[in-house]
């Protein structure tokens, strides 16, 4: 990928659910570029297409038509195993509901992505402890979700998302289940990950006060991009934006 090319590039993306008279066109020809190191908030009313486009970018779904390129790799042409490999290597996910395993410690929850990668026990332990320390939870490694506040649970979820050092962090309403104070703490954490580590952050939110932490707001309506605006950030931008490593996923590596 040349320096001028975006990390994420969508061209003419459509997504149709159902068929015949029951068909619903969720995305109606989306064009969107996201550069490495950006912090982008995606907003829009229910049914606007914002979650659909996030699922496509996250390789959790495929477009009906159009082109999706990640680091100049044609994701729309990859098979299921190749998309899974790209997802494991380059994408981290944070959800509104935390999605932690209830009877598992914070450290064990964070280790899960590394277990799927086949890393050894000692390496998993060390990486998970380091990730928990990065989100301010050093010393909480052996606490289960029931022993943690909502804000702490979301920090564990973020640690799990970054433990594999993703290129992009996809956050779907990450503060939706938190009060305002805890929500701001999570947004400050995401901002630090973006500015200090260069992780590209793409966040769906309906809360303007949380979107204000992003440096760019893309608004969706009726399956189309309604507006795309840049804004001043809460924190100083990084000296160097994140870069996209070369990827050539193959089914054999999955």
Token readout for 154 is: 């979301």
From residue 88, give the alpha-carbon distance in Å to each of 60, 103, 187, 191. 11, 24, 24, 22
CATH homologous superfamily of 8-235 equals P-loop containing nucleotide triphosphate hydrolases (3.40.50.300)
Give me the residue spans of the domains in the chain.
8-235
Q: Are 82 and 250 in contact (CB under 8 A)?
A: yes
> What is the CA 191 to chain-centroid distance, rounded?
13
Residue by residue, pLDDT tens for the chain (254 residues) are 445 579 999 999 999 999 998 999 999 999 999 999 999 999 999 999 999 999 999 999 999 999 999 999 999 999 999 999 999 899 999 988 888 999 999 999 999 989 888 889 999 999 999 999 999 999 999 999 999 999 999 999 999 999 999 999 999 999 998 999 999 999 999 999 999 999 999 999 999 999 999 999 999 999 999 999 998 866 444 434 444 455 554 444 44
The single residue listed with the structure tokens 């996809």 is 170
Within 8 A by CB and 6+ apart from 20, the residues are none
Kindly report the pTM of this predicted structure. Answer: 0.86
As a whole number of angstroms, the distance between CA 176 and CA 6 comes to: 29
């Amino acid at each position: 990928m040349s320096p001028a090319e975006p990390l994420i590039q969508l061209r003419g993306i459509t997504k149709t659910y159902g068929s015949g008279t029951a068909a619903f066109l969720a995305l109606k020809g989306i064009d969107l570029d996201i550069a490495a190191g950006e912090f982008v908030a995606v907003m829009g009313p229910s049914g606007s297409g914002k979650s659909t486009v996030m699922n496509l970018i996250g390789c959790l779904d495929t477009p009906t038509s159009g082109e999706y390129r990640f680091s100049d790799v044609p994701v729309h042409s990859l098979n299921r195993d190749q998309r899974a490999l790209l997802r494991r290597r380059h994408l981290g996910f944070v959800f509104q509901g935390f999605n932690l395993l209830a009877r598992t410690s914070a450290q064990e929850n964070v280790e899960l992505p590394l277990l799927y990668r086949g890393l050894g026990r000692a390496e998993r332990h060390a990486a998970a402890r380091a990730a928990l320390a990065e989100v301010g939870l050093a010393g909480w490694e052996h606490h289960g979700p029931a022993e943690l506040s909502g804000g702490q649970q979301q920090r564990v979820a973020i640690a799990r998302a970054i433990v594999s050092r993703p290129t992009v962090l996809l956050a779907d309403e990450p503060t939706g289940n938190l009060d305002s104070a805890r929500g701001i703490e999570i947004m400050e954490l995401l901002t630090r990950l973006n500015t200090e580590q260069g992780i590209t952050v793409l966040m769906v939110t309906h809360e303007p006060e949380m979107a204000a932490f992003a440096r760019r707001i893309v608004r969706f309506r009726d399956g189309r991009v309604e507006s795309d605006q840049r804004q001043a950030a809460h924190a100083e931008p990084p000296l160097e934006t994140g870069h996209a490593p070369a990827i050539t996923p193959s089914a054999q590596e999955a």
